[in-house]
Structure 1
Amino acid sequence: MQNEKVPENPPAFPRNYDADGHNGMWLRDWFAGQAMQVIAPIMAAKIEGMQSFTGQEVAEAAYRMADALLAARKEDSHAG
């Protein structure tokens, strides 16, 4: 999903297969999927006295982390 609020979001695994209409996934989606592997078990844990989170909240947290990774990536590319 391209979004003007999202920092630069290049393809994660670029390929040029215009014939099938699919040229790979976006880096933001890749980062979110990677973040989800860590975030989901933590947020889904039902520990006594702690709040559990909905799937929507876990997904939103993963995309917030993906956006932060994209922003840090952009800042790092300007530093060098």
Structure 2
Amino acid sequence: MAKIDDGGAAFPVPYGNSAYGMSLRDYFAGKALSGQLSFSPHDSFDKYHQPDEVAAACYRFADAMLAARKKES
């Protein structure tokens, strides 16, 4: 299985010769999730969307964002 490009640290905190923190992929997925949850009324959201499907979709958006960043540079 190929390693997933996580985009590196979203908000890097220096530690020795590296950085740690939330990955850019997780940050993008969280932003996509926020948009998904604000778009659909919360009371009907669970009736039509399964959380694992929404989470997977958010990571697909995050992966697309990371791919777009590579094309821009």
Give the TM-score of the pair, scaled to structure 2: 0.73
- The number of aligned residues is 68
Greater strand share, structure number: 2
The reply to whether residue 30 of structure 1 matches residue 31 of structure 2 is no
Answer yes or no: is the 8 Å Cα contact 1:12–1:27 preserved in 2. Answer: yes
Greater helix share, structure number: 2
Q: 1:1-80 maps to which residues of 2 (within 5 A)?
A: 4=3, 6-7=4-5, 9-17=7-15, 23-42=20-39, 46=44, 52-77=48-73
Answer yes or no: is the 8 Å Cα contact 2:10–2:27 preserved in 1. Answer: yes
RMSD (CA atoms): 2.5
Structure 2: which 5+ runs fail to align?
A: none
Structure 1: which 5+ runs fail to align?
A: none
Q: Higher Cα Rg: structure 1 or 2?
A: 1
Instruction: Say which SS state the counterpart of residue 10 (structure 2) adopts.
Output: coil
